[in-house]
Copies of this chain bind each other. A is one copy, B any other.
Amino acid sequence: MDITKFAIPEIIFGRGSLNYAGQCALRLGAKKVFLVSDAGIEQAGWVQRLMDILEKEGIEWVYYPGVTSNPRDFQVEQGAELYLKNGTDVIIAIGGGSSMDTAKGIAIIASNGGRIRDYEGANRVNRPLPPMVLITTTAGSGSDISQFCIITDVERALKMSIITRTLVPNISIVDPLILRTKTETLITQSAIDALAHAIEAYTSTIASEFTKMQSLKAIDLIIRNLPRAVETRSLDSLEQLSIASVAASMAFSNASLGVEHALAHSLGGHFDMRHGVIHPILLTAVMRFNLDYAEDRMADIGRVILNTTMGSPRETALAGIEKLEDFFDSLNVSRKFRQELQDKDKSLLKTICKNALNDACNLTNPRPASWQELLKICKEVW
């Protein structure tokens, strides 16, 4: 094994763990917290709840509500201005990937200056960031665990991957009680996002024993619990999805991903499509594309999905991919791009595939890919 690094935040997991937010902020030296969230989370009452928790510990806060889905460069730059102007010292975000990535972008600019696009790629953030506590309200994006931050560059119409160890927050709070207020769609999309993280991290060229066990655990938990979680909303199955998301995030944060995510970032920059919508369309097509270059690992994934093995690794791998397709079919999700996009959008695919090649996730795909090959995959699932 080559040298491998494994870094995760301190994790506080469990029903009611949100109540620890104030103590966590205090431990990190907070006097005045910069609080990041969005309108949906506010309406669900979680922002007020968090403010109450901070107030109880005697911590002041400034609230930045300017988060949208697929956060944009100018938004984090505005946020950083506010952070500095108000003399805040610790950042707390509560929300999905968008809120947490906005918080991370703000942290970068507030401490390193410049424009967010200056930090695109791997390891380009030099100065330490303000302390961060991230509280996830979904079980998918993994931004609360990972060293990833995805921000849309509006001018270039693409999602930038910013990856650096200092983006791992100090503390991640995962409270499954929060998931109960989520819609069926969001629960499904988040779980699919975590599943794609787990699978691409497992076949990544830099996967390690530490990330691989997390990937397989996450795949197992999502396949076994998502249908029940959607159907019954039982707290137990939602909790299992939260565990799966944390495990998948530990994996992809340290093993990175592959071309499916490179494409998802590029597509998301043009079409404002959520990852959870893109994966059921693209993931298994990319797995088939990668199969010859990662047969044994695909067989491991197949074994977990099928809960058994077939005659050969290749058969197990293929049967696993087919079962995964059945799994997506059984959920209320699109399986073709044409269900989500318009005919005219097809002409953008070439640019999208070319942009995907520049995404950092492309570097760790098991099979080297040209933009023409990516285009072929996208057309297959149009």
Contact = CB atoms under 8 A, between A and B. Distances in A.
Interface residues of A, dominant DSSP = mixed
Nearest to A212: B217
Q: How many copies does the complex hold?
A: 2
Interface string A1-44: 11111111011111111001000000000000000000000000
A4 B10 contact: no
A209 B14 CA distance: 11
A239 interface: yes
Contact of A10 (B5, B209, B246): B5
Given A2-B15, A4-B12, A210-B246, 9 more contacts: A1-B239, A2-B14, A3-B15, A3-B16, A5-B11, A6-B11, A11-B210, A209-B217, A210-B247
A246 B213 CA distance: 13
Nearest to A221: B209
A209 B243 contact: yes
Nearest to A208: B13
A4 B17 CA distance: 9
Interface of A: 1-8, 10-17, 20, 165, 208-210, 213-214, 217, 239, 243, 246-247
Given A213-B217, A243-B209, A246-B210, A14 B10 contact: no
Contacts of A213: 213-214, 217, 247
A10 B165 contact: yes
Contacts of A13: 1, 3-6, 208, 210
Contacts of A4: 12-14
B11 A10 contact: no
A23 to B, nearest CB: 12
Nearest to A240: B209
A305 B245 CA distance: 28
B1 A12 contact: no
Given A209-B243, A213-B213, A10 B6 contact: yes
Contact of A11 (B7, B14, B247): B7
